[in-house]
Amino acid sequence: MTEAVLDKPKGQNRIGLLLSDYKGAESTLCAGCGHDAITSSIIKACHELGIEPTGVAKLSGIGCSSKTPNYFLNQAHGINAVHGRMSAIATGSSLANRTLTNIGVSGDGDTASIGLGNFLHMVRRNIRMTYIVENNGCYGLTKGQFSATADKGSLKKGGKEINQNEPVDICALAIQMGCRFVARSFSGDTNQVRNLIKAAMNHNGTAVLDIVSPCVTFNNHEGSTKSVTYARLHEDPLHEVDFIPHFDPITVNYDAGTYTKVEMHDGSLITLKKLAHDYDPSDMDRAMALLHEAAGNGHFYTGLIYCRPDSVPFGEQKNIVDVPLATLPESVTRPSRAVFNQLMASFK
Amino acid sequence: MTEAVLDKPKGQNRIGLLLSDYKGAESTLCAGCGHDAITSSIIKACHELGIEPTGVAKLSGIGCSSKTPNYFLNQAHGINAVHGRMSAIATGSSLANRTLTNIGVSGDGDTASIGLGNFLHMVRRNIRMTYIVENNGCYGLTKGQFSATADKGSLKKGGKEINQNEPVDICALAIQMGCRFVARSFSGDTNQVRNLIKAAMNHNGTAVLDIVSPCVTFNNHEGSTKSVTYARLHEDPLHEVDFIPHFDPITVNYDAGTYTKVEMHDGSLITLKKLAHDYDPSDMDRAMALLHEAAGNGHFYTGLIYCRPDSVPFGEQKNIVDVPLATLPESVTRPSRAVFNQLMASFK
Amino acid sequence: MPPTMTATEALVEELQDRPVVNDVVINVATVNGSGSQSANFILLRALFSMGIPVSGKNLFPSNIEGLPTWFTIRANEDGWLAQRARTDVVIAMNARTVAEDVAQVHPGGILIINEALKAHATRDDILTYVVPYGEIVKQVCEDTRLRKKIVNVIYTGVVARLLGIEMDAIDAAIDHQFGGKPKAIKMNRDAAQAGYDWAGENLEAQNRYRVQRSNKTDGKMIIEGNEATAIGMLFGGVTVAAWYPITPSSSVCEYLTGYMEKYRHDAETGKATYAIVQAEDEIASIGMVLGAGWAGARAFTATSGPGISLMSEMTGLSYFAEIPAVIVDVQRMGPSTGLPTRTCQGDIAKTYQLSHGDCKHVLLIPGNVGECYEFAMEALELAEQLQTMIFLMSDLDLGMNKWMADPFNPPSKPIGRGKVLDAKDLERLGGFQRYGDVDGDGIGYRTLPGTPNNKAAYFTRGTGHNAKAEYTEKAADWKTNMDRLSHKFETARKLVPASIVHETDAATVGVLAYGSSDDAVQEARHILQERHGVKTDYIRVRALPYPADVRAFIERHPVVYVVDQNRDAQMATILRGELFDLSGKIRSIRHYDGMPLDADTVVQQLLHQESR
Amino acid sequence: MPPTMTATEALVEELQDRPVVNDVVINVATVNGSGSQSANFILLRALFSMGIPVSGKNLFPSNIEGLPTWFTIRANEDGWLAQRARTDVVIAMNARTVAEDVAQVHPGGILIINEALKAHATRDDILTYVVPYGEIVKQVCEDTRLRKKIVNVIYTGVVARLLGIEMDAIDAAIDHQFGGKPKAIKMNRDAAQAGYDWAGENLEAQNRYRVQRSNKTDGKMIIEGNEATAIGMLFGGVTVAAWYPITPSSSVCEYLTGYMEKYRHDAETGKATYAIVQAEDEIASIGMVLGAGWAGARAFTATSGPGISLMSEMTGLSYFAEIPAVIVDVQRMGPSTGLPTRTCQGDIAKTYQLSHGDCKHVLLIPGNVGECYEFAMEALELAEQLQTMIFLMSDLDLGMNKWMADPFNPPSKPIGRGKVLDAKDLERLGGFQRYGDVDGDGIGYRTLPGTPNNKAAYFTRGTGHNAKAEYTEKAADWKTNMDRLSHKFETARKLVPASIVHETDAATVGVLAYGSSDDAVQEARHILQERHGVKTDYIRVRALPYPADVRAFIERHPVVYVVDQNRDAQMATILRGELFDLSGKIRSIRHYDGMPLDADTVVQQLLHQESR
Ligand SMILES: Cc1ncc(C[n+]2csc(CCOP(=O)(O)OP(=O)(O)O)c2C)c(N)n1
Ligand SMILES: Cc1ncc(C[n+]2csc(CCOP(=O)(O)OP(=O)(O)O)c2C)c(N)n1
Ligand code: SF4
Ligand code: SF4
Ligand SMILES: [Mg+2]
Ligand SMILES: [Mg+2]
């Protein structure tokens, strides 16, 4: 449906840009890495939404996944933080400039191991950003060690060592911390990923996307629930996700029996076409129960797990002016001489 | 019931120690601080259990709460870690010596602010310890700033600043991370706290006790859900907790209609006498729903929120010898000359 | 070498036939959380309003209530306001410490002791006054719960009577302290008056220490360093602050919050033109500062030792990716958790090279509250100008104690935002090299995220990069970039505040100090000259990298004593390591017991080394 | 100052009528993740098994697959195995870098280039051999997927033929490499043989560089520093290790895990006599180490730069609460994330004083793989003996490259657990003072949690404490304790490994180096003496605090060149700062482009400064 926005001359989107205008540097990841597929989905989502690339801030930590912001949106500023702390950097930059569209890409190690505490606090603050975890159950860049989302019982490559811990469920923790847009997907399900990203980018707060993204080099073996084959075979979409941006309203009749509609704060619409499940993503306890069930039996549900568009992002909570703090003029940021004198007098 | 163990000459417990043998240095906390009440409960619990004080390790972070290990069990080794990292210290020491009985005391700032990530990972590993959070919704020691468990909407003492964030729910997060003994209580409910501590100390893994412990100096004002008055008035015990240690079996008939029994791995018994609620602490989704409900309407349920005694602590997961690693002799820790030679040969 | 009485002082002591006027050290020993703090401030301000220079140093425990606390007031006509070991007047209110408090009174001094503790008043070489506070307070305060707090105010009246502080001055100080709260004002005035009256009726007057009106505080003010820093940030146009509570730095952001709420909301919309975030930890606070700085905001955090350690990694990112950021380090006694309520200059060497790998940072080191204010502004300025981390190195003594000062100078130069290219610049230039050195000062041009020009973007990273900000692992690229950063550091050396040099005729001995040591060093020089005939020249270093004047000063002197408030002679070691051709001249004076530096320590260590 | 050819070398170059025997640098340019690593190891080991000393240095990118990688093998009869700038033989396999790879061949050298890249083989000052790997591999490998990997083995055969490496040696190396995997052995042998045969039939023999059997590797072995460190930990009786993955340190704990699984399970129960934990971050890993050390286990962690920064706060706790702990720092190029796959000695000054406040730490600095092993054991030993943090300062070059070495010495002394009192001791003594200095060495006695004696317990804290481990804020207590810690540091100075001193007759120039610089410095001394007539004495420092021999060495020499693999001359600055009476003699040689140090850099910087 949303492909409608592409009906512009020569593949131009609504602001006249081509898909190629959303590309980045050449990827240096392994051939076949799930992360590259997500990069493509981000590029397409931004193109389809007609996002102004120069208005985007790309944020990441350290890891193979965290390298990817370099591989999309060349015209957007990007930053590699230190390992696990993109959350803090993103919080600061989103306060400095509330007009930026924030896309964060992290890994499971970056977010759920070293970055867990800071990530959860960022989620709690609800800064406005799309936060993608490219979840491969391992540390790709340091050569395949277990991460906090590694499968329980998985064997170390070439070693006896067995992972004994339950994988951390990023979605469940995000929901518990008050996140109001939580999705799970699979890098190979490019359609779903693209649409979830589009929806996420229109969410008025932190949107967490936990995307299984196979590490074809270190965690693609049989038995891994993060392998390409496993994800392909086991993905069980809760619904078919589509996104209709506010600027492109389409007057199709969505039958409530077959569709769930979620209206975003800006008038955009997420449509969830029912598949085998009858799933309501607005019910928090239901979402938690689903995640617990999935964790218990290794089920790989994908789609929009939890969504409550009535969300107050941090900048609004803080009642900050709409224009960027970064570029406020001295006349605004430095109080007057009268105030100065008044202050000095108070200490006398 | 368990007071039976006190029926020894002159207040001696089963190992012949008096309550005073479980005391520590004099407290330097504010008069009336909730933390002191918990200290007393710990002292009594240990006395009643007949714990050997020299076999206990007391662990904490930094904060008023974290000072308290100095105020109980003078005959036990104790350590103040750095702020928020008791979890890591405890993990290391519990691996070094699996025979120690670990009691950790932390604050809400220590655990849920700076320490959140490390705390959750410790919980995930399931090290064997009683982890008490003395939760007062503020940073006591640094003079009352909001912590991560501060009430939403609470006002800064003497300032306009309003806390905009939902409090972090330590119990819900612990459950989500796989913790199998999660309780909430109130420092003033000394009976419940004492019995929960006794049960926790017999849990075969991490037991998290989130105990509301009013800061009478900085967060005791009207409107605070962590004030003495609020906690007194609103505490709603899910059940009456009692603990029957394995060494002191009591053959009372517990009617299943009025009691829930939880059998611990060592044969000890937790009995939960039903009150207004009919609550089953073995149901994880139920526990989560209860916590979410409580968070939604400010309800202050106390008691054993979640308990599954079938727990494999980290040391067992790691298949470590039962005797302390710390004191293994050189004959065990240094491989033989033959091994050495074999190794050297492999590099030739 | 604990400071002991010099021969000269002992002599002065014995001549107790005429009073020492406007030169007294009063130490109040109480219990923290008992409300004694406001009584002490009243005393301080009363002396101040009588025109006598004063300082107030609070020695408090790292807990909230019930432990011993001391507040030392030094009043000195000549303006010597540093810590002084000799205590003339002790007000003993605390049963726990009364023995040592009594012992502390200098021979010939005065002890004002609570009647409840009078058993300890056994010295006959001092004047002792026993005051029945318990009874007096009953007369002025009905509410038994309030008595615990108000009882302290009574001693202000007693001291006033004994030393000659005017009750008008006390009343004015009370008004200042409880500004706008008439009930509190009344109660406190009554209590002070009761003490004054009681003392008048019951205590024998003394003639050892007296105060009298002067004019040495005209136009001056009293302020804490942390509040001054907050004001500097306010007028420096800060827009983002992120912090995590830690003693003794918390009040920087707490004061700032108050000011921002008052002065930095848009008049029309009521919206905030800033964001202050209490972060979940120090890694998050410095991360937020870097994020904000990257996006173009003036941002800072305030912390102390443990926070500095936690901020190490991000500091390296700031240095290497060249992201403006400011950390206020209000130093406390370390290592580790150390003594959170004691002062130290223990982080100087640490922050100077904080983080792994080769990196060096710019430190601004204020020596008084005025400089806390100025350097806060300057730190924000330099951070953007140099595109790097700037440390503002305050300490507990400077930050949390009460200092007398001239009113600050209003901001004198416009806020500069450094080398930032906007969309128009880019159009004109057709592009830019983020890490190029166009101007030969080692500083590249940057753009801010959101700049509406498709040549604006670059990728910021802590990994190897070339001039275009592209990733590179090439040996030559790495070295080029690191050398440019060294060059930038030399640019910084030229931009930081010059040292303050005091040179005397014919002095051969040089003294080099920094930060809160200033008062004690100044007084030490005075003592050295007056009592020991040793003339000294003095350079107060106000920044690292030290400006060129430091080398010049050391070159001009055969020997230079470097005063460090730390065990490891951190500044001396830095100077020896870098100005190694001069290091033979550098001697070290160290002070590291947690107390603010006093002149005697400097005098004695210097004389000791001179005599060798 | 990039190393260039010296006049002497150029001369040697021109005499190409007789071959250079057993002295060659081979550089293999491939793509990472392509399996070239095993081919390179085969080549390395084949030379080694022919009795020719070799080293192998891997220059790899910070990614996993598809980027340029170089492996440099240096074979040298005389045992000069450091990095050398001049490359004699280049094996060009990578299209991306072929131009620079071809350019890299030293004039007169040899280029072995993949036929697919032959367009780049345009130089006529070198010998060029074009090899059609694509075709050869088809003949030896049916499986098209495997071909990508096996193709690299072919060049081992080609090189063998051209340089004279015996095929027996290649085969033996293959057997060693694929020990116990007959299929892999066969396939690799076939591929190597195919290359060898093809080269024999198609390539003209050359007579410039030859290798021939020698006996210089008898009894030697080849090993990486990280594996040596792991073995040291194994035999040091480590019981707890906690770590977080980070290049280039990860393999320390990965190797250790393998060994522990093999050698440290109880024979009867199968239970582990150790615990290795992959922690969630570096703060947790060092926290676990401290927890374990506190409870009495021998514990360590391994990390690199960013991890060091994150471990700062805990390091201060270890120092101040006196908890034994070991951090292995396998240094990589920083600051910030820097170049994770390049080497550096950039953390020396940082770790030496890591954490806020006054603290100084003991660093053991291995200069070769043997010392990685020895010092790992020694670090565990000293940590318990001194009850403090010990850093083992390795680096990427030492840790991850292949080094030739003598077999290690088996552990020579029993494991000492330091001053630990058990229940019996306490009964005898009736108590103890945790932080007392009974023996005059600054080291107190400790007890372990769980000690069954009611006098055993004490409270460990990072806050101020007295000798009895009680909390105190008293100025005198603080100072006493800090002075004792200084004294303990002086005890450490006496316990750390002595420096290795090489003195020559009549040398006036001193060279001081540390860590992985050793090989290059040794070679530089040789070159200086042989080609430039400059005799040098050499001291290799193996620890900080530097032992007394350092002062003595500097005192004996009019000038000492300190070799630092970092920009900021970190060791030179430490020495200048502390041995300040000698600092006029200290000059600095710096190398900091990420490549391992080579002799030419040392020679040139030294000569340049000597000539001034
Ligand atoms: C403080 C710190 N510790 C460790 C590292 C090493 N490191 C780099 S990437 C990485 C893990 C990345 O894993 P993940 O976030 O899952 O990303 P992936 O590579 O799997 O996409 C680690 C541990 C680092 N760069 N910084
Ligand atoms: C790294 C670090 N940051 C900050 C501090 C300062 N600090 C000491 S205690 C504390 C908060 C304690 O709060 P909480 O854990 O809730 O304990 P409470 O005092 O409320 O019992 C803080 C922020 C510190 N000691 N270390
Ligand atoms: S190592 Fe794994 S995560 Fe990294 S680029 Fe390769 S496939 Fe992707
Ligand atoms: S400040 Fe609060 S938490 Fe701390 S001791 Fe006082 S009452 Fe307790
Ligand atoms: Mg990963
Ligand atoms: Mg608290």
Whole-complex ipTM: 0.97
Average pLDDT over residues D57-70: 92
Find out whether the beta carbon of D305 lies less than 6 Å from any atom of ligand 1.
no
What span, in angstroms and rounded, lies between the C-alpha atoms of A97 and A78?
14
| Residue B334 DSSP symbol | S
Domain-located, residue C415: no
pLDDT at C18: 79
C72 — pLDDT class (breaks 50, 70, 90): very high
Mean pLDDT within C356-380: 98
* Neighbouring subunits of D (3+ Cβ pairs under 8 A): A, B, C
List b or e across D202-237, with b for residues whose CB sees 16 or more CB atoms inside 10 angstroms.
ebeebebbbbeebebbeebbbbbbbbbbbbbbbbbb
Asked whether A281 lines ligand 1 (CB < 6 A), one says no
For A155, the 3-state DSSP assignment is strand
**Is pLDDT of C514 > 80?**
yes
pLDDT tens digits along C494-511: 999 999 999 998 899 999
Which chain A residues touch D336 with a CB distance below 8 Å?
82
**Banded pLDDT at C212 (limits 50, 70, 90):** very high
Structure confidence by residue, pLDDT tens digits, D510-566: 999 999 999 999 999 999 999 999 999 999 999 999 999 999 999 999 999 999 999
pLDDT for D365: 98
Domain ranges of chain B: 22-317
| pLDDT band with cut points at 50, 70 and 90 for residue D342 | very high
User: Does the pLDDT value for residue B61 go beyond 70?
Assistant: yes
Encode pLDDT of D403-446 as tens digits: 999 999 999 999 999 999 999 999 999 999 999 999 999 999 99
How remote is the CA of residue A58 from the centroid of ligand 5, in Å?
19
Average pLDDT over residues C433-453: 98
Partner residue opposite C258 with nearest CB, options B83, B143, B159: B159
Give the pLDDT band of residue B251 (cuts 50, 70, 90).
Answer: low
Structure confidence at residue C34 (pLDDT): 80
User: Is B80 near ligand 2, meaning CB less than 6 Å away?
Assistant: no
Residue A321: which residues within 8 A CB-CB, separation 6 or more?
A328, C266, C269, C271, C272, C273
User: What pLDDT is recorded for position A162?
Assistant: 87
**Burial of residue C533 (number of CB atoms within 10 Å: 0-12, 13-18, 19+):** exposed
Do both D485 and D508 map to the same domain? no
Cα–ligand 2 centroid distance for C395 (angstroms): 19
Quick one: tokens of D153? Answer: 């083995």
User: Taking the CA atoms of chain B, what radius of gyration do you get in angstroms?
Assistant: 21
Identify the three-state secondary structure at position B311: coil
Same domain, C205 and C346: no
Q: What is the secondary structure of D280-345 as a DSSP string?
A: SSHHHHHHHHHHHHHTT--EEEEE-HHHHHHTHHHHHHHHHHT--EEEEEEEEE-STTBEEEEE--
d(C-alpha C245, C-alpha A341), whole Å: 30
C32 pLDDT band, cuts 50/70/90, is confident
Nearest CA in chain C to D595: C475
> What single-letter amino acid sits at D540?
R
Q: Choose the closest CB to D296 out of B315, B326, B337.
A: B326
Going from the Cα of B138 to the center of ligand 6, the distance in angstroms, rounded, reads 4
Assess whether C169 and C37 both reside in one domain: yes
Token pair 């006093």 in the structure block, residue:
C598
Residues D257 and D135 in one domain: no
Whether residue C2 is contained in a domain is answered as no
pLDDT tens-digit map of D162-177? 999 999 999 999 999 9
Residue corresponding to tokens 């967490």: A208
Nearest to C65 among B139, B146, B217 (CB): B217
Give the Cα separation of B169 and B151 in Å (integer): 11
Interatomic CA distance for residues B137 and B108, integer angstroms: 6
Q: Give the mutation target among A39, A64, A106 for probing the ligand 3 site: most ligand atoms within 8 A of CB.
A: A64
Ligand 1 centroid to A67 CA: how many Å? Answer: 11
Hey, are the CB atoms on C66 and B30 less than 8 Å from each other?
A: yes
Whether residues D374 and D298 fall in one domain: yes
Is the residue at D368 inside a domain?
A: yes
Give pLDDT, residue A271.
95
Side-chain half-sphere of C465: how many Cα atoms within 13 Å? 25
- B82: nearest CA in chain C? C337
Name the 3-class secondary structure at D463.
strand
Q: Any idea what DSSP says for residue C247?
A: T
Of A4-13, C139-148, D580-589, which range is least confident? A4-13
C244 and C349: one domain? yes
Measure the CA–CA gap between C348 and C300, rounded to whole angstroms: 19
pLDDT greater than 80 at residue C554: yes
pLDDT in tens, B157-184: 666 788 888 999 999 999 999 999 999 9
Q: pTM for the whole thing?
A: 0.97
Residue D216, in any domain of the structure: no
D240 with D291: CB under 8 angstroms?
no
- Residue C436 pLDDT more than 70? yes
Residue B3 confidence (pLDDT): 45
**Percentage of residues in chain D with pLDDT exceeding 70?**
97
Question: A164, A286, A311, A319: best mutation site toward chain B, by most B Cβ within 10 Å?
Answer: A164
Helix, strand or coil, per DSSP, at residue C296? coil
Looking at C478, C495, C512, the residue that finishes a domain is C495
Q: What would the DSSP string read from start to end of C407-442? A: PPPPP-SPPP--SB--HHHHHHHS---TT--TTSSS
C-alpha distances in angstroms, A207 versus A174, B210, B292, C311? Answer: 9, 29, 20, 28
Q: Which residues of B touch C258 (CB under 8 A)?
A: 159
Question: Is D535 domain-assigned?
Answer: yes
Q: Which of C495, C526, C545 is the last residue of a domain?
A: C495
Question: Could you tell me the distance, in angstroms and rounded to a whole number, from the CA of residue C57 to the centre of ligand 2?
Answer: 24
Examine the pLDDT at D5 and tell me if it is beyond 80.
Answer: no
Q: Nearest residue on chain A to B161, judged by CA atoms?
A: A318
Write out the residue range of the structural domain in which residue D47 sits: 7-210
Compute the distance from residue C65 Cα to the ligand 4 centre, in Å.
8
Residue pair C481/C447 in contact by the 8 Å Cβ criterion = no
Handedness of CA C15, C19, C22, C25 (dihedral sign): positive
Question: Shortest CB distance from D584 goes to which of C308, C578, C581?
Answer: C581
pLDDT at A134: 98
Reduce the DSSP state of residue C74 to 3 states and report it: strand
pLDDT band at C484 (very low <50, low <70, confident <90, very high): very high
- For position D7, what pLDDT does the model report? 47
**Same-domain pairing of D190 and D294:** no
DSSP E strand stretches across chain A = 56-60, 77-80, 101-107, 129-135, 138-139, 145-146, 181-186, 206-212, 235-237, 239-244, 259-263, 269-274, 300-307
Confidence band, pLDDT 50/70/90 cuts, at residue D16: low
- Domain harbouring C569, CATH code: 3.40.50.920
Residue D2, domain member (yes or no)? no
Instruction: Output the six-digit token pair for B219.
Output: 């967060």
Per-residue model confidence as pLDDT tens digits over C185-203:
999 999 999 999 999 999 9
- D23 and D163 inside one domain: yes
Distance of CA A187 to the CA centre of its chain: 12
Provide, as residue numbers in chain C, all residues whose Cβ is less than 8 Å from the Cβ of A106.
none
Superfamily of structural domain A22-317: Thiamin diphosphate (ThDP)-binding fold, Pyr/PP domains (3.40.50.970)
Q: Are residues D478 and D532 in the same domain?
A: no
Tell me if A173 and B176 make a contact (CB, 8 A cut-off).
yes
Q: Is the model's pLDDT at C13 over the cut of 70? A: no
Whose tokens are 């609020």? That residue is B230
Residue D414 included in any domain:
no
Ligand 3 binding site (Cβ under 6 Å of any ligand atom): A 29-30, 33, 35, 64, 136, 140-141, 215-218; D 64-65
Residue of B119, B122, B177 to mutate when probing chain A, most A C-beta within 10 A = B177
Whether C30 maps to a domain, the answer reads yes
Q: Domain end: D474, D495, D516, which one?
A: D495
Give the count of domains, chain D.
4
pLDDT tens digits, one per residue of C269-314? 999 999 999 999 999 999 999 999 999 999 999 999 999 999 999 9
Task: Look at the alpha carbons of B294, B298, B303, B306 in this order and tell me if their dihedral is positive or negative.
Answer: positive
pLDDT at residue D64, as a whole number: 87
Q: Report pLDDT for C191.
A: 96
> Between B and C, how many residue pairs show a Cβ–Cβ distance under 8 A?
61
Give the burial string for B225-252 (b: 16+ CB within 10 Å, else e).
bbbbebbeebbebbbbbbbbbeebeeee
Helix and strand counts by DSSP (H, E) for chain D: 21, 24
A147 touches ligand 1 (CB under 6 Å): yes
Beta-carbon separation of C334 and D357 below 8 A: yes
What residues of chain C lie within 8 A of the CB of A80, using their CB? 459-463
Residue C469 region by backbone torsions, left for phi larger than 0, else alpha for psi between -120 and 50, else beta: left
The pLDDT value recorded for residue C8 is: 44
The parts of chain A modelled with pLDDT lower than 50 are: 1-6
